[in-house]
Every structure is written in C-alpha cells, then in structure tokens.
Amino acid sequence: MFKKLNEIQSRYQFLEDRLQNVSFSSGVEERAEWMREYSSLGKTVKLYKQYQDIEKNIQTYETVLSEGKEDKDLIDLAKEEIDLLGKKKNLLLIKLKQALVPKDPLDSKNVIMEIRPAAGGDEASLFCHDLFIMYSHYADKKKWKVEIISSSSGNNGGFKEIIFSVSGSHVYESLKHESGVHRVQRVPKTETQGRVHTSTVTVVVLPSVDATVIQIKSSDIRVDTFRSSGSGGQHVNTTDSAIRMVHLPTKIIVQCQDEKSQHANKEKAMKVLYARLYDLEVKKKKETESQTRMSQIGTGDRSEKIRTYNFPQSRVTDHRTGLTLYHLDQLMSGELDQMIESLKVKQTEEYFAENE
C-alpha cells in the first residue's frame, strides 16, 4: 500500500514540476492530460501528506516519552497527544485505502430503485412506503432529485411496488449496496394484542444507463398503450396515456402510467428498461466469470437479507458489516451516512484482503 502511495506522490510531484515549467515544450492536448492526472491525484496526495505529518508528530512525542522520564506532566501530555494522533492516523488510513481502491466507473451514475413487498402482506406494503420516505429524506439531505417512475398503491397507504429515479452527484456510489432484503420487526397497526410481526421488503438499485451503454433495437420492443388507473387527475381513464413496454428477446416488461402524457410515460419506461437490461448483462457476465460482483457487498444475491429494522428496540443492524445502531428513528428520517460509510469501509477491506 505505502509503495503505491509513494509512487503516486512521486508522480504528483513530477507532474507539478512539468506544469510549473512554462518553458517545457508540450502540446496543448498533452498538457491538458497532465492537468487532469495531476488533479485526480491531488486528493490522495493531500491525505498522504497529512498521514506523514501525523506520523512525524507521533515520533516526536514518543521521543518526549523516552527522554522526559522525570517530568510527569510532560509525559502525560505526550501520552494524550499520541492517543489523539493515533485516532486521526487510523481515520486517515481508512481514507487512504479507499482512495487506492479502483473506482467503479458506474459510481457517478444516477440510479433507478425498485421497492416491493416480499413477505408480510399489508405490513410489508407499508414498510415499502417507509423505505421510500427514508431514501427520499436521504436524497434531500444530499441535494439529489427523486422522481417517481411507476407506483402501485397497496392497502392502508403502502405500496405494492414503487419504482423511482434518484439523480445527483455520485448517487450510485452511495446507494448501490442497498440492494437486497430489508427485514422489519414491529407491531402492525392492525395488531390488537401487541405482538411483534416480521415482514420483508426487497430493494433493487440499478445504475441509470442509456444507449451509449446498452443497445436496444426498436424491432425488439413492443409498446402497448392503455388507460391509466388510480390517482392522477382528469387524464385517468380518459386517454390511453399509460405505457406497457415489452422487450421481446428477454421478456422484460416495464409499465408506467404516472405521467399525464404518453410520451413522458414512454420516456420513463425506457429508462427502466435500459437499467434492467444492463443489470441482466452484468448477471450474465458474473455467471460466466464465476466472480463476485464488486459493486455490491455480499453475494450480490437479491434474496440475501442485508438489514433488520427492529422498531420495539429502536435498533437497526446491517448483517454484512455487523454494525448495529440504536437510533432507528433518525435512520428512517434519512440519517444513512454512518450505515453507508461502514459499507464503503467493508468494501475497501475486502478489496485489500483479496489483493494483498
């Protein structure tokens, strides 16, 4: 790891010298390429410099410990500083490791999320709604945009299914590990004897891709129109604005009826189709290569239980990292950063364990 960091630091200094040397002969394109590389290395080099400074300070205080045996106050101060610097050093070490993990080219993409009840009837349907609200609050904190693509209402205000897009800066990087089975333990509103029920909901997170990534022949798509049903205003049941799109080779079906215009529904349906076809290609590649998909911690199987939300104890546990938090109300209001950061750290640890 440190060999790689030293190489990056040397390369950064080399590029800095070249860019500052105005007399050095180079083409515009070559100089622009140097500038891009210099900029991309800057954050890692800055972190490494902080790490090196902390190590030097720790060594200084360790010298104080070895030489100041008769000065108790000085020794106590040195021990306190070493402890504080050690914690900062460990945090920087995690950030440096994350900086060295090869970037997922999809991390900068927007996402399409699909939430559906799995087991638990109406209670699972209600939890679909709760998870959608949780992700919406998280997106709002990140200044991302959430747009519903398709939804189907369940009983008591829940969802039989909801599909929505999240767009902004590096959305997939933060949300890609949310795919899997989310388990909820709580007393349903309809429960008269106060018994805790267990229900499950599936979450699917797909990177939003387009024709530059996945090619779709127009002859491979059948588009059916029909009248919308449910809420939506005067257009419901009066115009054939709803879209059902079938990809004939794969039999993938996408349906969208939330927008008033047929064109808008078709555009949203295409976004979902692109994402699902790309996900299908990834699955095929994974099966062919027999490798674990790096973009998702765990097996990558959507039947895998990834998290449990226990409302009576205000406890949430992520089963991949082992992290347990006891402020479930805050998490459900969108405070997901600690949970998501622990998943990123886990992914980094797995990468270094596999590449040592």
pTM over 0.85: no
Q: What is the pLDDT of residues 101-154, one digit of tens each?
A: 888 888 999 999 999 999 888 899 999 999 999 999 999 999 999 999 988 888
Residue 232 has pLDDT above 50, yes or no: no
Percentage with pLDDT > 90 across the chain = 45
Residue of higher predicted confidence among 157 and 169: 169
For the chain, domain boundaries: 2-100, 111-212+294-354, 218-289
Mean pLDDT in residue range 27-42? 83
Residue of higher predicted confidence among 130 and 20: 130
**CATH class of the structural domain 218-289:** alpha beta
- Per-residue confidence (pLDDT) for residue 285, from 0 to 100: 76
Report the chain's mean pLDDT, rounded to a whole number.
85
Q: What is the pLDDT of residues 40-85, one digit of tens each?
A: 898 899 999 999 999 999 999 988 888 766 778 888 888 999 999 9
CATH number of 111-212+294-354: 3.30.70.1660
For 30-51, b where at least 16 C-beta lie within 10 A, e where not — what string? eeeebeeebeebeebbebbeeb
Residue 278 has pLDDT above 80, yes or no: yes
Percentage with pLDDT > 70 across the chain = 89
Per-range mean pLDDT, top range of 23-32, 101-110, 163-172: 163-172
Residue of higher predicted confidence among 197 and 71: 197
Mean pLDDT in residue range 241-247? 87
**Taking every pair of C-alpha atoms in the chain, what is the biggest distance, in angstroms?**
90
- Per-residue confidence (pLDDT) for residue 81, from 0 to 100: 93
Residue 297 has pLDDT above 80, yes or no: no
Mean pLDDT in residue range 245-268? 87
Residue 198 has pLDDT above 80, yes or no: yes
The position carrying tokens 């509103």 is 189
3-state secondary structure the chain: CHHHHHHHHHHHHHHHHHHHCCCCCCCHHHHHHHHHHHHHHHHHHHHHHHHHHHHHHHHHHHHHHHHCCCCHHHHHHHHHHHHHHHHHHHHHHHHHHHHHCCCCCCCCCCEEEEEEEEECCHHHHHHHHHHHHHHHHHHHHCCCEEEEEEEEECHHHCEEEEEEEEECCCHHHHHHHHCEEEEEEECCCCCCCCCCEEEEEEEEEEECCCCCCCCCCHHHEEEEEECCCCCCCCCCCCCCCEEEEEECCCCEEEEECCCCCHHHHHHHHHHHHHHHHHHHHHHHHHHHHCCCCCCCCCCCCCCCEEEEEECCCCEEEECCCCCEECCHHHHHCCCCHHHHHHHHHHHHHHHHHHCC
Spatial distance between the Cα atoms of 342 and 323, rounded to a whole number of angstroms: 8
Q: What is the pLDDT of residues 319-344, one digit of tens each?
A: 999 999 999 999 999 999 999 999 99
Residue of higher predicted confidence among 178 and 261: 178
